[in-house]
Chains A and B, each alone.
Chain A
Amino acid sequence: MTVTSAWLLLVALSAGSTLAAVSGMTGPALALIVLALAWAKAQLILNRYLGLAQAPAIARGFALALALYMAVLATLAAAAG
């Protein structure tokens, strides 16, 4: 994937977050969707912009740590209702 493809995907994922927010969805469902999209965007930035795709083992470590962090954020968001 080129950085231009990554940028286009980032724009699409950002549009997805905005659509989810204006769809009227609220609460844990919205939190889960927009945080999952944020995770995907962060992965693209790490792997394609910052070049971690060159180092797959390190990239997997970042992906796991970020996924765990996002899960904690989602849990806190869901707990707030």
Chain B
Amino acid sequence: MSDPERQFSVPTIPSGRLAGETPPAGGHATNRLPGELMMWILILSELAVFGAGLLAFLAVRLTDPAGFAEAQSQLHRTGAAANTLVLVTSGWLAALACRAAGAGQTRRLRLLLAAAIGFGAVFLILKGSEYADLWAQGIGTETHAFFTFSYLLTGFHAAHVLAGMVLLALVGWLATPRAVETGAAFWHMVDLVWVILFPVVYLI
């Protein structure tokens, strides 16, 4: 009969180094996912949802390429391009916060996360100004299939930005390396989704 303690113990998930950490001397790399496995499952789930949405968007576009191009011209491309810079910069600050957390620099990590949250707010303000402009022109989700998808995809993404800002604030308060890394991983996922969503919805 097996040892009861062993039988009922919760399996531990091997965790790698903190995201962005340099591999040990000698350049030895592992084949473990960095950070929390559950966060990676969440990241993959979110990528699958947004990925399916973008595929559906381009598939529907085949039915009315001219209408989609006309509708796309109503979007704020400059603001969206600026938002790409805003998010990658915010992601950089979050990555630096992970390093600061690993080094025990609590004040620095909180400042970096506060700046990352600030950039998140800038993103939402730019996005909000685009929505306000579209609504002022009477453009809603049912104006054209393009807008149904663009509002859905960018709105869902903006909701993730807002959730990420709350999460960064929470992990900044906790200020442990693992918590900061987990919060930053979510933020990088938001960043990752945007760099794929932006060209599909705004450029091509």
Contacts and interface: CB of A to CB of B under 8 A. Distances in A.
B32 interface: yes
Contacts, number: 136
Contacts of B61: 76-77, 80
Interface in A3-58: 3-4, 6-7, 10-11, 14, 17-18, 20-21, 30-31, 34-35, 37-38, 41-42, 45-46, 48-58
A35 B200 CA distance: 8
The B interface is mostly helix, strand or loop, or mixed, namely helix
A52 B55 contact: no
B17 interface: yes
B16 A14 contact: no
A28 to B, nearest CB: 9
Nearest to B93: A7
B203 A34 contact: yes
Nearest to A51: B19
A52 B35 CA distance: 10
B84 to A, nearest CB: 5
A79 B20 CA distance: 38
Contacts of B164: none
A63 to B, nearest CB: 13
Nearest to A4: B92
Contact of A76 (B58, B91, B189): B58
B89 interface: yes
B51 interface: yes
The A interface is mostly helix, strand or loop, or mixed, namely helix
B151 interface: no
B135 to A, nearest CB: 25
A57 B88 contact: no
A11 B88 CA distance: 7
B84 A14 contact: yes
Interface of B: 16-21, 23, 29-35, 43, 51, 54-55, 58-59, 61-62, 65, 68, 77, 81, 84-85, 88-89, 91-92, 94-96, 99, 184-185, 188-189, 191-192, 195-196, 198-200, 203-204
Contacts of A77: 58, 61, 200, 204
Contact of B59 (A34, A58, A76): A76
6 contacts: A42-B196, A50-B20, A50-B43, A51-B21, A54-B34, A72-B55
A73 interface: yes
